[in-house]
Amino acid sequence: MTQTSVPTMTAAARAVGLTKTYGKGATEVHALRGVDLEIRRGAFTAIMGPSGSGKSTLMHCLAGLDRPTSGEVMVAGQPLQNLDDDQLTVFRRENVGFVFQAFNLLPMLTAGQNIQLPLELAGKRVTDETRARAQMIADTLGIGKRLGHKPSELSGGQQQRVAIARALVTQPAILFADEPTGNLDSETSAEVLDHLRRSVRELGQTVVMVTHEASAAAYADEVVTVKDGHIEGVTR
Amino acid sequence: MRTVLFASLRTYARRYAAAVVAVVAAVALIVVTNALTSATKSGLFAGIDAPFRNAVGAVDLPTEEVTQKYTEKGGWALAASMQPVRTDKAMLGQEVMVGAVSTEKRWQWQELEAGRFPTRAGESVVDANAAKTNKVAIGDTLRVGTGESAVETTVVGLVDAPSMWSSPVYVTWPEMQGWKNPYVQAVLTAGTGDEADKWLNTDDYLTELQTQLNKEVNVVAYMVLIFAFIALFVSVLVITNTFSILFAQRMRDFALLRAMGATKRQVLRSVRREALALGLLASVLGLVVGAVLGWGIVAIVRQLAETAPLGEVALEWPWLLSAFVLGTLTTLVASWLPTRRLMRLSPLAALRPQEGFDVRGAGMFRLGLGVLGTLAGIGIIFVAVGWDDAQTGMLIVLVGCGITFLGVMLLGPALVPGLVRLAGAGLARVAGSPAKLAAANAGRNPKRTAATAASLLVGVTLTTGVLTGMNTIRAATLDEMAEQHPIDIALQAESEPLADSVVGDAKAVPGVADAVAVPGALASVEAEGKPVPVPVVAPPAGDIALRDLTVKPGTMVLSPVAASAFVEDSFEASGEKVTLTVGDRTATVTLDVREIDGAAQISAATLRELTTDPQTYAVWVRADAGADPEDLAGTLGVLAPDAELINGKAQRAWVELQLDVFTWAVIGLLAISVLIALAGIANTLGLSVLERGREHALLRALGLTKRQLRRTLAAEAVLLSAVAAVVGTALGVFFAWGGSEILIGDMLPDARFDPPVLQLIGVVVVAGVAGLVSCVVPSKRATKVSPAEGLALD
Ligand SMILES: Nc1ncnc2c1ncn2[C@@H]1O[C@H](COP(=O)(O)OP(=O)(O)OP(=O)(O)O)[C@@H](O)[C@H]1O
Ligand SMILES: [Mg+2]
């Protein structure tokens, strides 16, 4: 079921006829069975569904982390199926940001170094401008004073906010978050979700968040419900 | 717990690869040593009694008088001498072992293959194998020896002999006695001999001889065993590290077991049994690999060199048992520390995040001890360098080296990551973020990084130490050789002067750079009322020799052998004055006795005093650098068949070859330890890759390309091995400096400490490249995981 009212031009990401099958024969699992979906630009989209329904798989395919068995994915106007591994990697580096449920940060780097990491990987020089931008984002997220600490010295909520800061620093076309609050208590969850929502409102960031908590989905502009590898419905 | 034990072994078997490789290599080295020594012994002992079949008894290493006494009574000397041998067509060799053959049936112990035994002087037999390779046949004439003592002999038979007593050529004993110093291993007696001469009956003699040979072979075996122990020590480091990493990765499993009700003791027993099983398995594998390699090497050597004294391989139980026990013990000892750490494990650990385990650096105590050890060791070396007695000094230097090395190993967790970070910062300038990530990775688990580096450090330190030390010894020895044998090739006349054409002919020989005629005369010196002929030469100025050989007027430089013809104690004769006579002219000279080649040397002025008509008594030849000294000697010898041929270049080349063979044999044996260490690096990296699966997926998700990931791992391996190589080289050179300082001044007065810079750079480069090779498999495994798969790991 496609959101026809949204013109294609404004879609940040689009999937057509997406299927994903794991394994072969007796152990075959159909994680996605033909998904058509558009993610609206500048919106906060939540993907919901029961455990094992294929949410993470869908997100991985949309983000170019994994290749679908069949179907097409277009992100920021770029069809992903034609890209080889290196091109895909560079595409992710330039256009996609990630926040995962846990183990988001590299343990041997400080929070500040973790935030700068995507710029480093791209081989970009760390200029005053980028440093100021990183500091601004960190300040906005309330972690400006903790940038010199290693991840193991930060609380779970702080770690997630460092991850969000890192995802925002490259100004990606789209930010994916897979259960970013899965490990957090409700109060800290609320803070983190609030930050994600503010980045949509204030920075015009496109955010796609996978969650199975209705309370988290309440922060979103749109809610896509997945069940058994299908899109069951989209609510605005 | 048995289920847990077997499941663990199955699941983690592959991760123990490096530990298994280390134990297998060390155990196999011991078994190979035994295989080679047993083959050598059986080869040496086969037919050892052949010459003694008709002997009543024998005297070992008899004096000239004792030899004379028993040979006159119908005995026989087991003698040999190194002599140049040539046919009328070709030179067989400059230094060929020539044995003695009897004309009497009872001492003809060689086995006749063709022809007959000699019946008189002037006849000889040749070893059948040697005859085949040198194309010598019955009826050929050989010229054996040099100068006037050379003998012409006709080959009348081909023989075979047990390896212990075999030589390529055998001439009769009377002819051999004309040579300067034939080596007599034993004199066999026809009847009973005197106790006073150390005479033994044949059975006792052979038993004694075998015991002696056994000891000599065993000494070599024990020297090789030292390298097996070094390999075992490196194995301990590699295995300890492997267990530490594996247990760190499995902490959560262990904690879960504890949470489910397993006692500490149960967990501990389970992992110790795992170590025991591993040790047993690897040791058995080592025995098998060693036996196969041993047999293989012996078979190949026998195939390639038919005359090599190798018999059947007969592995001995004590050796096999010791190798097996050592391999197993090493594994157990190495696993002890890591398993002890499990005792501190609380069930709660299962709930903590993975990164909390074992990432602490070294404690202050360890670092303090490390600083203390390093400083103390360095201090000891400096003290020892000034020691008077070289032997004690050397011992103290060794202790100092050991303490310094231990100190540095203790400092490792602070030193190695620090240096890696430093090197990484440099590398980051050219290689970008992969190098930065790699340096950060090396710093995240200082103990592991240090332990990995330490295993390589052992091999590199020893290798560079040996290279540096040997370079100093080598330079000093070669200098001494050049001092003693400064002339490449000399044709030395004895009583008759050389023909005038010789020098011109010599110049025309290809490979000869220059040749000069050395003027001289046949002088005589009065000794015990009789004139003794003494050929003298006056060395010319110029660069024909490696150094200027011109003699001070009024002095005569000569070798102890030459001096012994007319003075009592030739070694103490320096400073004595003697009068040289040629015809009716005389000159008094002061003796200067030292090891030189050829005839006595006087100054041109002294020669003018002695004769108005000097003649050519020697031709000195300078060879082209690349010319083969043996070939050259063969061609030059023909120009003056009656002259003694002195081949200084060949002697220098021979010593150089010996030094090289020794050095490279040691390096080759040390290479085993280095290879074990590299397997350790590959394993550490491989285990780290498994451990960091999620991190790598995260990096890949954030935009690290496959190639960048590979580069990160490569940078980590190269940085680690390069730092270990540089630190090891610094230590090795320093230790070698300590050792050489002691040798210099005492045993090698003219030596200079001289590190072989190119070779040392080579070691560092090889270590770096090897590090690169060791990361190939781990990085392949790392890049095979897609980011999505990696994110599912925990
Ligand atoms: N690598 C894999 N191999 C085989 N099957 C897989 C693999 N990854 C996922 N699956 C299967 O695909 C289906 C969808 O998995 P997915 O991770 O997308 O679910 P999810 O909706 O994210 O669940 P959760 O809310 O528990 O995270 C599941 O049935 C899962 O077992
Ligand atoms: Mg999921």
> CATH number of the domain that A203 lies in?
3.40.50.300
Domain-located, residue A130 = yes
B32 CB neighbour count, 10 Å cutoff: 24
* Pocket probe mutation, ligand 1, options A24, A27, A29, max atoms within 8 Å of Cβ: A29
How many inter-chain contacts (A to B, CB under 8 Å) are there? 73
**Atom of ligand 1 at shortest range from CA of A53:** 21
Q: Provide the pLDDT for residue B361.
A: 56
Is the CB of A1 within 6 Å of ligand 1? Answer: no
Report the alpha-carbon distance of residue B278 to residue B569 in Å, rounded: 67
Domain-located, residue B503 = yes
Which of the 8 DSSP states describes residue B101?
Answer: E
pLDDT over 90, % of chain B: 20
Lowest mean pLDDT among B229-233, B250-254, B407-411: B250-254
Structural domain of A137: 42-53+82-235
**A78 CA distance to ligand 2 middle (Å):** 25
The stretch A113-141 carries a mean pLDDT of: 80
B763 and B706 fall within a common domain: yes
Nearest to A130 by CA among A122, A99, B709, B703: A122
pLDDT over 70, % of chain A: 95
Q: Provide the pLDDT for residue B192.
A: 87
Flag whether residue B352 sits within 8 Å of chain A, measured between CB atoms.
no
User: What residue's CA is closest to ligand 1, atom 27?
Assistant: A51
The stretch B410-429 carries a mean pLDDT of: 85
Angle at A221 between CA A216 and CA A227, to 5 degrees: 65
Max alpha carbon distance in chain B (Å)? 113
B118 and B94 fall within a common domain: yes
Nearest chain A Cα distance for residue B264, angstroms:
28
- B615-623/B489-492 β-pairing: antiparallel
User: What residue's CA is closest to ligand 1, atom 13?
Assistant: A31
Report the alpha-carbon distance of residue B763 to residue B747 in Å, rounded: 28
Residues of A in contact with B353 (CB under 8 A): 152
Q: Provide the pLDDT for residue B662.
A: 87
Is the CB of A214 within 6 Å of ligand 1? Answer: no
pLDDT 10s digits, B721-749: 899 999 999 999 999 998 888 877 666 67
Q: Provide the pLDDT for residue B326.
A: 92
The stretch B333-347 carries a mean pLDDT of: 75
φ/ψ of B552, rounded to 5, equals -65, 140
Domain-located, residue A214 = yes
Assess whether pLDDT exceeds 50 at residue B377.
yes
Structural domain of B338: 1-46+225-352
| Cβ atoms of A18 and A36 closer than 8 Å | yes
pLDDT 10s digits, B453-489: 888 888 899 999 999 988 888 888 888 888 888 999 9
Is the CB of A53 within 6 Å of ligand 1? Answer: yes
Domain-located, residue A73 = no
Domain-located, residue B305 = yes
- Chain A, nearest residue to B784 by Cα: A85
| Domain endpoint, select from B626, B642, B658 | B642
B674 and B620 fall within a common domain: no
B233 and B345 fall within a common domain: yes
**A15 CA distance to ligand 1 middle (Å):** 19
Nearest chain B Cα distance for residue A139, angstroms:
22
**Residue B753 banded pLDDT, cuts 50, 70, 90:** confident
Q: Provide the pLDDT for residue A3.
A: 43
Domain-located, residue B347 = yes
pLDDT 10s digits, B762-791: 999 988 898 888 888 888 888 887 777 777
Q: With residue B169 as reference, give the H or E element that holds it.
A: strand B169-172
**B255 CA distance to ligand 2 middle (Å):** 26
**Residue A8 banded pLDDT, cuts 50, 70, 90:** very low
**Both structure tokens of B221:** 């075996």
Structural domain total, chain A: 1
Please state, rounded to an integer, the average pLDDT across all residues of chain A.
83
Is the CB of A195 within 6 Å of ligand 1? Answer: no
Flag whether residue B448 sits within 8 Å of chain A, measured between CB atoms.
no
Is the CB of A56 within 6 Å of ligand 1? Answer: yes
Report the alpha-carbon distance of residue B191 to residue B193 in Å, rounded: 6
Q: Provide the pLDDT for residue A4.
A: 42
B750 and B673 fall within a common domain: yes
pLDDT over 70, % of chain B: 94
* Pocket probe mutation, ligand 1, options A56, A176, A212, A228, max atoms within 8 Å of Cβ: A56
Assess whether pLDDT exceeds 50 at residue A1.
no
B630 and B509 fall within a common domain: yes
Assess whether pLDDT exceeds 90 at residue B198.
no
B637 and B661 fall within a common domain: no
pLDDT 10s digits, B108-130: 989 999 999 999 989 999 998 88
Assess whether pLDDT exceeds 50 at residue B355.
no
Assess whether pLDDT exceeds 80 at residue B794.
no
B701 and B596 fall within a common domain: no
Lowest mean pLDDT among A10-14, A145-149, B298-302: A10-14
**Both structure tokens of A118:** 């995507």
**Atom of ligand 1 at shortest range from CA of A27:** 4
Nearest chain A Cα distance for residue B432, angstroms:
7
Q: Provide the pLDDT for residue A7.
A: 44
B34 and B96 fall within a common domain: no
**Residue B622 banded pLDDT, cuts 50, 70, 90:** very high
The stretch A37-48 carries a mean pLDDT of: 89
**B793 CA distance to ligand 1 middle (Å):** 13
**Cβ within 8 Å, pair B433-A65:** no
**Residue B157 banded pLDDT, cuts 50, 70, 90:** very high
Flag whether residue B296 sits within 8 Å of chain A, measured between CB atoms.
no
**Both structure tokens of B681:** 């690096």
Flag whether residue B73 sits within 8 Å of chain A, measured between CB atoms.
no
Assess whether pLDDT exceeds 50 at residue B357.
no
| Cβ atoms of B195 and B202 closer than 8 Å | no
pLDDT 10s digits, A172-218: 889 998 888 877 788 888 888 888 898 898 888 999 999 888 888 88
B468 and B523 fall within a common domain: no
Domain-located, residue A67 = no
Q: Provide the pLDDT for residue B169.
A: 93
**Cβ within 8 Å, pair B703-A86:** no
Nearest to B456 by CA among B33, B14, B769: B769
Report the alpha-carbon distance of residue B516 to residue B535 in Å, rounded: 18
**Cβ within 8 Å, pair B440-A108:** yes
**A210 CA distance to ligand 2 middle (Å):** 8
Angle at B453 between CA B449 and CA B459, to 5 degrees: 165
Chain A interface with B: residues with Cβ < 8 Å: 60, 63, 65-66, 85-86, 89-90, 92-94, 98, 100, 103-104, 106-109, 117-118, 120-123, 152, 166
Domain-located, residue A125 = yes
Domain-located, residue A111 = yes
Domain-located, residue A9 = no
Please state, rounded to an integer, the average pLDDT across all residues of chain B.
85
Report the alpha-carbon distance of residue B686 to residue B704 in Å, rounded: 19
Model-level pTM?
A: 0.75
Q: Provide the pLDDT for residue B407.
A: 93
Nearest to B599 by CA among B553, B565, B548: B565
Structural domain total, chain B: 4
Is the CB of A77 within 6 Å of ligand 1? Answer: no
| B111, B139, B305 from B133: Cα distances, Å | 19, 17, 12
- Chain B, nearest residue to A118 by Cα: B702
Strands of B76-217, DSSP E: 76-87, 91-101, 111-115, 123-127, 141-144, 151-160, 169-172, 183-189, 199-201
Report the alpha-carbon distance of residue B738 to residue B449 in Å, rounded: 29
The stretch B316-324 carries a mean pLDDT of: 92
**Residue A9 banded pLDDT, cuts 50, 70, 90:** low
Report the alpha-carbon distance of residue B138 to residue B158 in Å, rounded: 7
Q: Provide the pLDDT for residue B712.
A: 87
Residues of B in contact with A90 (CB under 8 A): 703, 705
Reported ipTM: the value is: 0.72
Max mean pLDDT range (A184-188, B130-134, B389-393, B719-723): B719-723
| Domain endpoint, select from B138, B168, B191 | B191
Report the alpha-carbon distance of residue B48 to residue B213 in Å, rounded: 11
**Atom of ligand 1 at shortest range from CA of B789:** 1
Look at residue B188 and give its three-state secondary structure: strand
Report the alpha-carbon distance of residue B222 to residue B240 in Å, rounded: 27
**Residue B289 banded pLDDT, cuts 50, 70, 90:** very high
Domain-located, residue B132 = yes
B579 and B616 fall within a common domain: yes
Is the CB of A103 within 6 Å of ligand 1? Answer: no
pLDDT 10s digits, B558-572: 888 788 778 877 778
Q: Provide the pLDDT for residue A132.
A: 85
Which sign does the torsion angle of CA B285, B290, B293, B295 carry? negative
Q: Considering only the beta carbons, identify the residue of B437, B703, B791 that sits closest to A89.
A: B703
| Cβ atoms of B85 and B92 closer than 8 Å | yes
Report the alpha-carbon distance of residue B539 to residue B548 in Å, rounded: 9
**Cβ within 8 Å, pair A108-B791:** no
Q: Considering only the beta carbons, identify the residue of A92, A94, A120 that sits closest to B701.
A: A92
